[in-house]
Amino acid sequence: MKAFIIDQYSKKDPMRLSEMPEPELRDDDVLIEVHAAGLNLLDSKIKSGEFKLILPYRMPLVLGHDVAGVVTQVGSRVRQFKVGDEVYSRPPDHRIGTFAQFIAVNENDVAPKPKNLTMEEAASIPLVGLTVWQALVEKANLKKGQKIFIQAGSGGVGTLAIQLAKHIGATVATTTSSANTDLVKSLGADIVIDYKKDDFEKVLQNYDVVLNSQDAAALEKSLRVLKPGGTLVSISGPPDPEFAKASGAPWFVRLIVRLLSAGVMKRAVRRDLKYSFLFMRADGHQLREIARLIEAGAIRPVIDRVFPFESANEALRYIEAGRARGKVVIKIK
């Protein structure tokens, strides 16, 4: 099969289109013929080696964390899917590789593709959809009537987070550029702050939840817009000890993580806030829940561009530029 691979961690070296053997199918796996794959900043960060202490990968490595496609083969113990089913998935860590013609995924990490989406639309959902679900529903326990601040509302995570928060019944504030104000309002944002002109810390106060996806300066400001008892969920770091323990990281990595997060954890405790780092996990059951919301019209995908498979490197560079409105996808079949 054709696949885009890296032979070593590097920021500058592009992925290489190569012939690779088809994935081996385990008893609990389905083999998916990849029709489309979503791209994420996580792909770029893994390519550069940013996560190599926590997620050490063997080379050569096929990148890619989002897939939509058709089941072409099932393992002997698979009961949820059959050949010909249209599915979507975020493969688990250590089994990524959607920038390829085929991928094998455990059936518990797969869900039926939302019926009202194209393959390209479906491929844009899994990683950001699971990130938003786990941040807002699991970690923040967002409730109707609460106020949430979602940073970078026009990005891949932000566009879905706004919609899920509004579906739950929260009041939503977000940041974006003036060019994207109409987009985030159409998704349900109540308060839109132009980050180029205004400081969100001076506009927002007494919020219940913040979804942080920006840098350390934004994280510090975000702590100050929360009311006592509020929750800050960060998907951009610093990682916390709970994450390091759950990831099975070696002791010295857990120590580093504890030191990196000590400052923000202390400041959160001092303000009677809860700080939590989220590195989302694969979950087929949650993807089924998200599919129900999509089919009901509560959530819709937002796609900036679809690139042909051969232009995967160009698509990744486009993601790295940080100007995408919603998601970027590559069409493989």
- From the options 3.40.710.10, 3.40.50.880, 3.40.50.720, 3.90.180.10, give the CATH code of 2-125+302-331: 3.90.180.10
pTM of the model: 0.95
What pLDDT, in 10s, does the model give residues 238-264? Answer: 777 777 777 777 777 788 777 877 778
Rg (CA), the chain: 19
**Closest to 32 (Cα-Cα) out of 97, 116, 128:** 97
Report the distance separating Cα 214 and Cα 216, nearest Å: 7
Q: What pLDDT shows up at residue 182?
A: 98
What pLDDT, in 10s, does the model give residues 156-205? Answer: 999 999 999 999 999 999 999 999 999 999 999 999 999 999 999 999 99
Superfamily of domain 128-277: NAD(P)-binding Rossmann-like Domain (3.40.50.720)
Contact assessment for residue 192 and residue 153, using Cβ atoms and an 8 Å cutoff: yes
Fold equal for 2-125+302-331 and 128-277: no
What pLDDT, in 10s, does the model give residues 87-120? Answer: 999 999 999 999 999 999 999 999 999 999 999 9
293 pLDDT more than 90: yes
Stated length of the chain: 333
The DSSP bridge partners found for residue 232 are 210, 275
Q: What pLDDT shows up at residue 272?
A: 94
Q: Which two tokens stand for residue 137?
A: 């529903």
Q: For residue 230, give the 3-state DSSP assignment.
A: strand
Q: Where are the domains of the chain?
A: 2-125+302-331, 128-277
Which residues, including other chains, have CB under 8 Å from residue 58's CB and lie 6 or more apart?
none
The DSSP bridge partners found for residue 328 are 39, 305
Which residues, including other chains, have CB under 8 Å from residue 182's CB and lie 6 or more apart?
none
What pLDDT, in 10s, does the model give residues 6-58? Answer: 999 999 999 999 999 999 999 999 999 999 999 999 999 999 999 888 888 99
The DSSP bridge partners found for residue 173 are 149, 191
Contact assessment for residue 268 and residue 274, using Cβ atoms and an 8 Å cutoff: yes
